[in-house]
Chains A and B, each alone.
Chain A
Amino acid sequence: MFSTITSGTVCGIGSHLIQVEVDISKGLPCFQMVGLLSSEVREARERVRVALKNSGISLPPMCINVNLSPADLRKEGTMFDLPVAVGILACLGHLPGESTAGTVLLGELGLSGEIKPVRGILPIVTRAKESGMRRCILPHDNAMEGAVVEGIEIIGVTDVAQTVEYLKGLQSGRKDLIEPAHIDVMSLWKEPDGANALDFADISGQETVKRAAEVAAAGFHHLLMTGPPGSGKTMLAKRIPSILPPLSLQESLEVSTVYSVSGLLHSAQEILVTRRPFLNPHHTITGQALAGGGRVPVPGIISLAHRGILFLDELPEFKRETLDILRQPLEDKVVQIARSSGVYLFPADFMLVGAMNPCPCGYYPDMGKCRCAPYEVRRYLGRISGPILDRIDICVEAAPMKFRDISGRAAGESSARIKERVMGARQMQAQRFAGTQLRFNADMGVAQVEKYCVLGAQEKGYMERMFSAMQLSARGYHRILKVARTIADLEQCGGIRKEHLSEAICYRQMWE
Chain B
Amino acid sequence: MTEETEKAYIHWLCQAAGMGSGSFLRQLEQAGTARDVYDMAKRGILEEKLHIRYKHRAQRLQAAVKDYDVMGKYKDMRDRGICLVTCRETDYPEKLAAVQDAPYALYYAGRLPDHRKRSIALIGARSCSEYGRYMAKEFGAALARAGVQIVSGMARGIDGIGQMAALGAGGYSLGVFGCGVDICYPSGNRELYERLLAEGGVCSEYPPGVGPRAVLFPPRNRIISGLCDGVLVIESKEKSGTLITVDMALEQGREVYALPGRATDALSAGCNRLIRQGAQLVMSPQELLEELLADFNACPDRKVYCQQTLFIPEGVQGELLQLLDFQPKSMETLQEAYVSTYGKSVTVPALCHELLQLCVDGYAGCSNGNYYLIKG
Q: Do A and B come together as binding partners?
A: yes
Q: Which residues of A contact B (CB under 8 A)?
A: 205-209, 211, 226, 358, 364-365, 367-375, 395-399, 402, 404, 465-466, 469-470, 487, 498-500, 502-503, 505-506, 508-510
| Chain A residue with the shortest CB-CB distance to B186 | A375
The answer to whether B356 touches A226, judged by C-beta atoms less than 8 angstroms apart, is no
| Chain B residue with the shortest CB-CB distance to A401 | B332
Complex Cα distance A137/B271, Å?
83
The answer to whether B127 touches A371, judged by C-beta atoms less than 8 angstroms apart, is yes
Which of B126, B335, B353, B368 lies in contact with A208, CB distance below 8 A? Answer: B335
Q: Contacts A208-B335, A374-B188, A397-B370 hold; do A503 and B266 have CB atoms under 8 A apart?
A: no
* A-B pairs under 8 A by CB, number: 99
The answer to whether A207 touches B335, judged by C-beta atoms less than 8 angstroms apart, is yes
Question: Can you offer 5 A-B residue contacts whose CB atoms are under 8 A?
Answer: A208-B335, A358-B368, A367-B127, A399-B333, A470-B359
Which of A370, A371, A395, A499 lies in contact with B353, CB distance below 8 A? Answer: A499
Confirm or deny: B106 has a beta carbon within 8 angstroms of a beta carbon on chain A: no
The answer to whether B332 touches A503, judged by C-beta atoms less than 8 angstroms apart, is no
Q: Contacts A367-B127, A499-B350 hold; do A396 and B359 have CB atoms under 8 A apart?
A: no
Complex Cα distance A502/B188, Å?
33
Of listed A370, A469, A487, residue having the most chain B CB within 10 A: A469
The answer to whether B328 touches A505, judged by C-beta atoms less than 8 angstroms apart, is no
Shortest Cβ gap from A500 to chain B (Å): 8
| Chain A residue with the shortest CB-CB distance to B367 | A365
Shortest Cβ gap from A428 to chain B (Å): 17
- Which residues on B sit within 8 Å (CB–CB) of A469? 359-360
The answer to whether A375 touches B348, judged by C-beta atoms less than 8 angstroms apart, is no
- Which residues on B sit within 8 Å (CB–CB) of A398? 332
The answer to whether B371 touches A365, judged by C-beta atoms less than 8 angstroms apart, is yes
Confirm or deny: B77 has a beta carbon within 8 angstroms of a beta carbon on chain A: no
Which of B266, B333, B352 lies in contact with A502, CB distance below 8 A? Answer: B352
- Which residues on A sit within 8 Å (CB–CB) of B266? 367-369
- Which residues on B sit within 8 Å (CB–CB) of A500? 349
- Which residues on B sit within 8 Å (CB–CB) of A209? 332
Q: Assuming A395-B369, A399-B332, A466-B356, what are 6 further A-B pairs, CB within 8 angstroms?
A: A211-B349, A358-B368, A369-B266, A465-B360, A503-B349, A509-B369
Confirm or deny: B274 has a beta carbon within 8 angstroms of a beta carbon on chain A: no
Shortest Cβ gap from A458 to chain B (Å): 14
Confirm or deny: B357 has a beta carbon within 8 angstroms of a beta carbon on chain A: yes
Complex Cα distance A205/B366, Å?
22
Complex Cα distance A103/B201, Å?
91
The answer to whether B332 touches A205, judged by C-beta atoms less than 8 angstroms apart, is yes
- Which residues on A sit within 8 Å (CB–CB) of B331? 208, 397, 399, 506
- Which residues on A sit within 8 Å (CB–CB) of B264? 368
Shortest Cβ gap from A424 to chain B (Å): 16
Confirm or deny: B265 has a beta carbon within 8 angstroms of a beta carbon on chain A: yes
The answer to whether B352 touches A506, judged by C-beta atoms less than 8 angstroms apart, is yes
The answer to whether B265 touches A506, judged by C-beta atoms less than 8 angstroms apart, is no
Complex Cα distance A396/B348, Å?
12
Shortest Cβ gap from A208 to chain B (Å): 5
The answer to whether A367 touches B267, judged by C-beta atoms less than 8 angstroms apart, is yes
| Chain A residue with the shortest CB-CB distance to B262 | A368
Could you give, for residues 345-376 of chain B, a 1 whenever the CB lies within 8 Å of some chain A CB and a 0 otherwise?
A: 00011101101110110000011111100000
Shortest Cβ gap from B157 to chain A (Å): 8
The answer to whether B332 touches A506, judged by C-beta atoms less than 8 angstroms apart, is no
Confirm or deny: B330 has a beta carbon within 8 angstroms of a beta carbon on chain A: yes
- Which residues on A sit within 8 Å (CB–CB) of B129? 367-368
Complex Cα distance A368/B333, Å?
16
The answer to whether A503 touches B348, judged by C-beta atoms less than 8 angstroms apart, is yes
Q: Contacts A365-B328, A368-B267 hold; do A226 and B369 have CB atoms under 8 A apart?
A: yes
Complex Cα distance A470/B366, Å?
8
- Which residues on A sit within 8 Å (CB–CB) of B350? 499
Confirm or deny: B166 has a beta carbon within 8 angstroms of a beta carbon on chain A: no
Confirm or deny: B34 has a beta carbon within 8 angstroms of a beta carbon on chain A: no
The answer to whether A211 touches B353, judged by C-beta atoms less than 8 angstroms apart, is no
Main secondary structure of the interface of B (DSSP, over half): helix
Of listed A370, A373, A500, residue having the most chain B CB within 10 A: A373
Complex Cα distance A404/B186, Å?
42
Confirm or deny: B156 has a beta carbon within 8 angstroms of a beta carbon on chain A: yes
Confirm or deny: B128 has a beta carbon within 8 angstroms of a beta carbon on chain A: yes
Which of A364, A368, A396, A404 lies in contact with B370, CB distance below 8 A? Answer: A396
Complex Cα distance A194/B357, Å?
45
The answer to whether A397 touches B349, judged by C-beta atoms less than 8 angstroms apart, is no
The answer to whether A506 touches B356, judged by C-beta atoms less than 8 angstroms apart, is yes
The answer to whether B127 touches A374, judged by C-beta atoms less than 8 angstroms apart, is yes
The answer to whether A503 touches B126, judged by C-beta atoms less than 8 angstroms apart, is no
The answer to whether B127 touches A370, judged by C-beta atoms less than 8 angstroms apart, is yes
The answer to whether B127 touches A499, judged by C-beta atoms less than 8 angstroms apart, is no
- Which residues on A sit within 8 Å (CB–CB) of B267? 367-368
Complex Cα distance A372/B126, Å?
10
Complex Cα distance A502/B353, Å?
5
Shortest Cβ gap from A470 to chain B (Å): 7
- Which residues on A sit within 8 Å (CB–CB) of B357? 502
Q: Contacts A226-B369, A358-B368 hold; do A399 and B330 have CB atoms under 8 A apart?
A: yes
- Which residues on B sit within 8 Å (CB–CB) of A465? 360
Complex Cα distance A369/B331, Å?
19
Complex Cα distance A375/B350, Å?
34
Which of A207, A358, A370, A510 lies in contact with B348, CB distance below 8 A? Answer: A207
The answer to whether B369 touches A208, judged by C-beta atoms less than 8 angstroms apart, is no
Complex Cα distance A333/B112, Å?
63
Complex Cα distance A398/B186, Å?
32
Could you give, for residues 181-206 of chain B, a 1 whenever the CB lies within 8 Å of some chain A CB and a 0 otherwise?
A: 00000101000000000000000000
- Which residues on B sit within 8 Å (CB–CB) of A207? 332, 335, 348
- Which residues on B sit within 8 Å (CB–CB) of A510? 368-370
The answer to whether B156 touches A505, judged by C-beta atoms less than 8 angstroms apart, is no
Shortest Cβ gap from A217 to chain B (Å): 15
- Which residues on B sit within 8 Å (CB–CB) of A369? 266
Q: Contacts A207-B335, A367-B267, A399-B333 hold; do A499 and B368 have CB atoms under 8 A apart?
A: no
Could you give, for residues 115-157 of chain B, a 1 whenever the CB lies within 8 Å of some chain A CB and a 0 otherwise?
A: 0000000000011111000000000000000000000000010
The answer to whether B353 touches A373, judged by C-beta atoms less than 8 angstroms apart, is no
| Chain B residue with the shortest CB-CB distance to A368 | B266
Complex Cα distance A502/B368, Å?
17
Shortest Cβ gap from B361 to chain A (Å): 9
| Chain B residue with the shortest CB-CB distance to A468 | B360
| Chain A residue with the shortest CB-CB distance to B331 | A208
- Which residues on A sit within 8 Å (CB–CB) of B335? 207-208
The answer to whether A373 touches B127, judged by C-beta atoms less than 8 angstroms apart, is yes
| Chain B residue with the shortest CB-CB distance to A370 | B127
- Which residues on B sit within 8 Å (CB–CB) of A506? 331, 352, 355-356, 370
Shortest Cβ gap from B217 to chain A (Å): 15
Complex Cα distance A482/B349, Å?
16
Q: Contacts A206-B332, A211-B348, A487-B349 hold; do A502 and B356 have CB atoms under 8 A apart?
A: yes
- Which residues on A sit within 8 Å (CB–CB) of B336? 205, 402, 404
Complex Cα distance A364/B330, Å?
12
- Which residues on B sit within 8 Å (CB–CB) of A404? 336
| Chain A residue with the shortest CB-CB distance to B359 | A469
| Chain A residue with the shortest CB-CB distance to B368 | A365
- Which residues on A sit within 8 Å (CB–CB) of B366? 470
The answer to whether A503 touches B128, judged by C-beta atoms less than 8 angstroms apart, is no
- Which residues on B sit within 8 Å (CB–CB) of A375? 186, 188
Complex interface residues of chain B between 317 and 353 (CB less than 8 A to chain A): 328, 330-333, 335-336, 348-350, 352-353
Shortest Cβ gap from A508 to chain B (Å): 8
Complex Cα distance A464/B367, Å?
20
Q: Contacts A208-B348, A208-B370, A487-B349 hold; do A373 and B156 have CB atoms under 8 A apart?
A: yes
The answer to whether B352 touches A505, judged by C-beta atoms less than 8 angstroms apart, is yes
| Chain A residue with the shortest CB-CB distance to B345 | A207
Q: Contacts A373-B126, A399-B330 hold; do A505 and B356 have CB atoms under 8 A apart?
A: yes
The answer to whether B356 touches A470, judged by C-beta atoms less than 8 angstroms apart, is yes
Complex Cα distance A465/B356, Å?
11
The answer to whether B370 touches A499, judged by C-beta atoms less than 8 angstroms apart, is no
- Which residues on B sit within 8 Å (CB–CB) of A205? 332, 336
- Which residues on B sit within 8 Å (CB–CB) of A499? 349-350, 352-353
